[in-house]
Amino acid sequence: MVKVKICGIKDRETAIEACKAGADALGFVFAKSSRQITVNEAKNIIDKLPSKVVKIGVFVNESLEKMEYIGKECGLDYLQLHGNENPEICIKSKIPIIKAFRVATLQDIKAMENYKASAYLVDSGKGKYFGGNGTTFDWNIVKCINKSIKTHVILAGGLNCNNIHKAMDIVKPYAVDVSSGVETKGKKDVIKIRRFIKLVKER
């Protein structure tokens, strides 16, 4: 069954409701973003969450020392990297790495082979931020991913209740990552979160 990650969590109530709805993982953005959260805010939310739910910190071009510090303070299970991080960081990190790639061409897919990450997130190449821009990309490109990587692919970028089944059918991902697709006027919408998770799990 495909896993679901709800990203951009900023408050405890939404986090708890997402867990109740069946979210497998929650993402906390520490990089510059409209969904950015502080270490203390994230820690106060994570401390109240079920241990079975995976906690992921999202970073962009941050030092490994700082990421590991935040990871330890907040109890993060994974570090999700959305910048131009060196492949060596995947080997040096004491916390498992999810490396994100902005996909626009086949060359972007090829770059994934340089990283020995625990998982690989594919996102849209368009937008102001390194991730979380709410736009889709040509999912057919993902079919060209190396087979050894394909089983660890997390699909992100503009996913919502209207396109998730089509996206899953084309990509066949290990997990899907949604943020703006479960928001209303820039805030997480619990009703949309419940519906999105239900659609993924029933597929």
The residues annotated as belonging to the active site are: 7, 123
Token code pair at residue 5: 């990650």
Query: What residue ranges in 25-114 does DSSP mark as E strands?
Result: 25-29, 54-59, 78-81, 97-103
Token pair of 54 as six digits: 């995976």
User: Please, is 175 exposed, middle or buried when counting C-beta atoms within 10 Å of its C-beta (0-12, 13-18, 19+)?
Assistant: buried
Q: What are all long-range contacts of 165-173, with beta carbons under 8 Å and residues at least 24 apart?
A: 165/199, 165/203, 167/136, 167/139, 168/2, 168/200, 168/203, 170/139, 170/140, 170/142, 170/143, 171/122, 171/139, 171/142, 171/143, 173/2, 173/142
Q: Dig out the tokens for 137 from the structure.
A: 């990309």
